[in-house]
Amino acid sequence: MNSLRDYQRKRNFSKTREPAADDVTASDRRAIFVVQLHHASRRHFDFRLQVGDVLKSWAVPKGPSYDPQVKRLAVEVEDHPVSYADFEGDIEHGYGKGHVDQFDHGVWTTAGDAEAQLQKGHLRFELFGTRLKGGWHLVRSGRKERQPAWFLIKAKDAFAGDVEADDLLDAKMIRSTRAAAKTAATQAVAKKSIARKKPIPQGRKAPRLRLAKAAAALDGARAAPADNAFFKPELARLRDFPPDGEQWLHEVKWDGYRILAAIADGEVKLWSRNALPWNDRLPDIMQSLASLGLRSARLDGELIALDGHGHSDFNGLQQTLSGEAQPPLVYMLFDLPYFEGNDLSRVSLLERKALLQQLLAHAPRHLAFSTHAIGDGEGAFRMATEQQLEGIISKRVDSAYRAGRGDDWLKIKRLESDEFAVVGYTPPKGSRNGFGSLLLARPDPDVASGWIYVGRVGTGFSDEQLRQLGETIADKGSRKPTVKLTAIDPLLRDARWVKPAAVAEVYYRGIGNKNLLRQPSLKTMRTDKIAADLADSDRAAPTPAGKSAAARRKSSTKTKPAAIVISHPDRVVFPDDGYTKQDVADYYTSVMKWFLPGVVNRPTSVIRCPEGTAKACFFQKHLIQGLKHVGSAKLKEESGAQATYIYPLDASSVIELVQFGALEFHPWGANIDQPDLANRIVFDLDPGTDVAWARVVAAARRVRKLLAQLGLESFLRTTGGKGLHVVVPLNPGCPWPQVKDFAHAFASTLAQAHPLEFIATASKSQRKGLIYVDYLRNSRGATSVASYSLRARSGASVAMPLRWSELGKLKSGHDFDIRSAPKRLARQRSDPWAGMDELRQGLDDLMGELG
């Protein structure tokens, strides 16, 4: 297998726009594939599959063929970084010179270990793209070649047909082919690709009209308009024993994510049980549902990954959704409350399931029918226990489909487990990293929005779950419990408490005499749920009418500021763009939950522009008369005198400062309670005149690489101006003199090693054509712009934290602004800087390594 060292060795990243090899993949997306049409010295298609953290790559001269009888030569080439999947455009110099178009992209799956199959020489897989679909094979050739040769072959399935890659080119790719045609052979290829145009083969459609007529004739069916909006699912209550009688049917309790599918006018939309859209995460399920050829429907089921024994594997599902594995996913369907213009919610469950079974009779294998047995609940539960399944779901055969939790659906689990809110953690001991145990709570039935402590869980965590803890706990927390304590536990003396947010599912051996869980162990972190969902527990009575999950979630959020009146809301503060003072307040309100962690309890200077950016703006760091919602603390200044500094306490502090004309926020790299200990280092990469943006990107990667060689993990942020910030967290913190000396030495070492790229002196006269590594922000009292802060300049740009994998997509340090930043955050599933506060690293013994 090739490594990314080969990829990096063959390229000069100061001359090519291709992404560097040290980009890392995001952790919140499926394993992807991409096919790129490459007009190099010889036209070919680059076929790439993500395996782990790289794209395994093959050059396919004639492109993929849908004909199973055709074996297409695929020459194995060096592995590429995952970020290469987004690359298009010209490679202007060196290796691979020529134009690149993206032919297709999507997700891919395989039953079994991908690397093991590649080592054996035969990979069986499925593609879910726009142009390439269905099953495929990569088979290693027995011929001895300079580079390993494979054959790319289409599997015999419903998508097979007489279609070639050149039949599927769009107008853009045809233009590129014509433009690159210089020889007689390439001109012939261009002529052929223009002349041929064939549709992508489609799978077998369901007998829609016959089933629609059958649905309309069912007792209780009603004609109703279709829509593909979210619909509330029916939920089950937990019971200790299955019900008796023939009026009950029993299904396997699948261990996965509840997914709702809604189809209108042929358009499929997938929703989580909490009304979050899932289309982008499940293109395989989307394509499978679309292949049914339905005009309108609502389907209810569970998204699962199957293990080697055919059982649903929840951890495997999470690994697949995060890109760590590629097993096929299955949408296990168990209800059909709406079908082809007919509301079937009042039709008996047994008849709904019979119609659903007919619909899925010839469906793709990613759609499956959840079978059932009628009567003998005890026998069904015994079978589930013997097969080590999670349990069963028992449902009344004649029941309607009713939103919410009722007694028509019952849940019986083989192992005693439940879901609890994570409300804190204990510190690690010994060799343990991150934390000792998670603190758990359940909703307090007697207190609205209240929680009761039920114990702690410290076993059952995988290394990956330990790593992801930073994404499930919002901040470091406080010493004060956020829940009701029913027992005294001496191990909680050093605990840190957080607001209930994340949800953990835990196995346990009953309840002890202090109402604490006995022998709990983690089953999994339920990333598909939030703590507010537990108020609608499967053990509890139904929630009061009118109190939706969304309302509970909103009421539990404390980023909403107090009622602060914005005077002169129509005053234009960004005259070149027309943005008003009210626009600024609305912006900070919309990003508040992301913005607050970077400024709360940190001494913070603000840039105030009371009359707008066209007139005088000034820094303010001391308390002034009229501020009522900000914190204040007396801190020693460099002169030795004390002054009263301001710092944000909460959302109200931020909006009050906006009311006073604040546009930008610049916090210290230290907290107010330990102002002499730095917990952030910021390297500001400030490009001089005539420095191309590609050099700034390369510079950030170089800084990250050098820091990594020193054992320091770093994070990326645009400044909202010309450059980038590389931020190094320090935990538990270092004295400011040590931080200042390290930052100075690091910047000087960088400038000495690369004098044509970097400069470490502040003189602007010497910075032309170079990138200034500004280390002076790393001293007591110095500040850097906060993440998500606006900048007081034309365009109303925003300082935006990013994943390193996003660096290659940036066009400038001011790519995000007051309008685009909230839209990005609305799509963002996790914080790009998640885990920063839990990362333990310092500067001891590093000065010698910098020489």
Reported as a single tens digit per residue, the pLDDT across 113-156 is: 888 899 899 999 999 999 999 999 999 997 777 789 999 999 99
Q: For the chain, give me the number of helices (H) and strands (E)?
A: 18, 40
Dihedral, 410, 411, 416, 420 alpha carbons, nearest 10: -100
Asked if residue 544 has pLDDT above 60, the reply is: no
**Same domain? 616 vs 487:** no
Residues 790 and 843 in one domain: yes
Tell whether 599 is covered by a domain. yes
- Render pLDDT for 152-182 as a digit per residue (tens, 0 to 9): 999 998 889 999 998 898 888 888 888 877 6
- Judged on CB neighbours under 10 Å (0-12, 13-18, 19+), 550 is exposed
Positive or negative torsion for Cα 323, 328, 334, 335: positive
3-state helix, strand, coil in the chain (%, to 5): 25, 30, 45
pLDDT for the residue numbered 637: 72
Give the CATH number, domain containing residue 753: 3.90.920.10
3-state secondary structure at position 825: helix
Question: Cα–Cα distance between 556 and 501 in angstroms, integer?
Answer: 9
The domain in which residue 622 lies consists of 572-667
Q: Please indicate, yes or no, whether residues 250 and 187 belong to a single structural domain of this protein.
A: no
Task: Indicate the residue among 142, 173, 195 that finishes a domain.
Answer: 195
- 330-383 pLDDT, tens per residue? 999 999 999 999 999 999 999 999 999 999 988 888 999 999 999 999 889 888
Q: Is 636 labeled as catalytic in the residue annotation? A: no
Q: Is residue 471 located within the same domain as residue 407?
A: no
pLDDT for residue 247: 95
In a domain, 148, yes or no: yes
pLDDT per position as a tens digit, 253-305? 998 999 999 999 999 999 998 899 999 899 999 999 998 999 999 999 999 99
The answer, yes or no, to whether residue 213 has pLDDT greater than 70, is yes
Closest CA to 799 of 598, 635, 661: 598
Longest dimension (CA), the chain: 88
pLDDT at site 316: 80
Q: What is the tens place of the pLDDT at every residue in 425-455?
A: 888 777 666 788 899 999 887 777 789 999 9
Domain presence at residue 306: yes
- Indicate if the pLDDT at residue 16 is higher than 60: yes
Q: When comparing pLDDT for 667 and 570, which is higher?
A: 667
Confidence of residue 9 (pLDDT cuts 50, 70, 90): confident
CA 690 to CA 815: how far, in whole Å?
A: 19
Q: What is the dihedral of CA 746, 747, 751, 754, to 10 degrees?
A: 60
* Closest among 111, 201, 198 to 154, alpha carbons compared: 201
Residue with more model confidence, 460 or 69: 69
Comparing 524 with 729, the larger pLDDT belongs to: 729
- 581 contacts 568 by C-beta, under 8 angstroms: yes
State the pLDDT confidence band at 480, using cuts at 50, 70 and 90: confident
As a whole number of Å, the end-to-end CA separation of the chain is: 37
Please report which helix (H) or strand (E) contains residue 171, including its range.
helix 171-180
* Model confidence at 24: pLDDT above 80: no
Say whether both 649 and 705 belong to one domain: no
pLDDT at 540 over 50: no
The H or E element spanning position 195 is helix 184-195
Q: Are residues 392 and 285 in the same domain?
A: yes
Please tell me whether residues 407 and 456 are part of one structural domain: no
Query: 774 to each of 132, 684, 765, 777, how far by Cα in Å?
Result: 48, 5, 15, 7
Q: Is the pLDDT of residue 54 over 70?
A: yes
Condensed to tens digits (0 to 9), the pLDDT of residues 748-760 reads 999 998 998 999 9
Give the Cβ contact number of residue 828 at 10 Å: 12
Are 335 and 215 contained in the same domain?
yes
The reply to whether 177 and 257 lie within a common domain is: no
Hey, which bits of 181-328 come out as E strands?
Answer: 222-223, 234-238, 248-252, 257-264, 267-272, 297-305
Q: Residue 669: pLDDT above 60?
A: yes
State mean pLDDT over 557-581: 81
DSSP state of 328: P
Quick one: average pLDDT of 216-242? 93
Instruction: List the single range of 9-13, 61-65, 158-162, 739-743 with lowest mean pLDDT.
Output: 9-13
Please say if the pLDDT value at position 197 is more than 80: no
pLDDT for 471 equals 57
Whether the per-residue pLDDT at 23 is higher than 50: the answer is no
pLDDT, position 541: 37
Catalytic residue among 253, 353, 395, 740: 253
Q: Residue 646 has what pLDDT? A: 94
pLDDT at 472: 56
Domain boundary among 169, 195, 221: 195
pLDDT, average across residues 603-612:
93
Note the helical H segments in 647-727.
651-659, 693-709
User: Which of 326 and 605 is assigned the larger pLDDT?
Assistant: 605
Asked whether residue 246 falls in the same domain as residue 351, the answer is yes
**Do residues 100 and 90 lie in contact, with contact meaning Cβ atoms separated by under 8 Å?**
yes
Phi then psi for residue 666, to 5 deg, are -130, 95
Distances (CA, A) of 314 to 125, 194, 230, 311, 463: 21, 47, 24, 10, 16
The per-residue pLDDT of the chain, averaged, comes to 86
Instruction: Report how many domains make up the chain.
Output: 5
Handedness of CA 739, 741, 744, 745 (dihedral sign): negative
Query: Per residue in 388-418, pLDDT tens?
Result: 788 899 999 999 999 999 999 999 987 677 8
Whether 136 and 38 map to the same domain: the answer is yes
3-state secondary structure of 605: strand
Higher pLDDT, 428 or 57: 57
> Looking at residues 579-598, what average pLDDT do you find?
93
Question: What's the confidence (pLDDT) of residue 186?
Answer: 60
Residues 111 and 237 in one domain: no
So what's the pLDDT on residue 550? 31
Give the gyration radius of the chain's Cα atoms.
30
Residue 43, SS3? strand
CA distance 817 to 824: 10
The pLDDT, as a whole number, for residue 639 is 61
Banded pLDDT at 29 (limits 50, 70, 90)? confident
pLDDT reported for residue 640: 65
The answer to whether residue 14 is domain-embedded is: yes
Instruction: Give pLDDT, residue 333.
Output: 97
Whether the pLDDT of residue 189 is over 80: the answer is no
pLDDT at 26 > cutoff 50: no
Residue predicted with more confidence, 634 or 746 = 746
Scan for tokens 């010493």, then name that residue: 479
Three-state DSSP state, 339:
strand
In a domain, 548, yes or no: no
Domain assignment present for residue 493? The answer is yes
Question: Taking 80 as the threshold, does the pLDDT of residue 470 lie above it?
Answer: no
Among the candidates 667, 700, 718, a domain finishes at 667
CATH number at 361 reads 3.30.470.30
- Between 485 and 544, the higher pLDDT residue: 485
Distance of CA 295 to the CA centre of its chain: 31
Any domain includes 823: yes
Asked if residue 65 is part of any domain, the answer here is yes
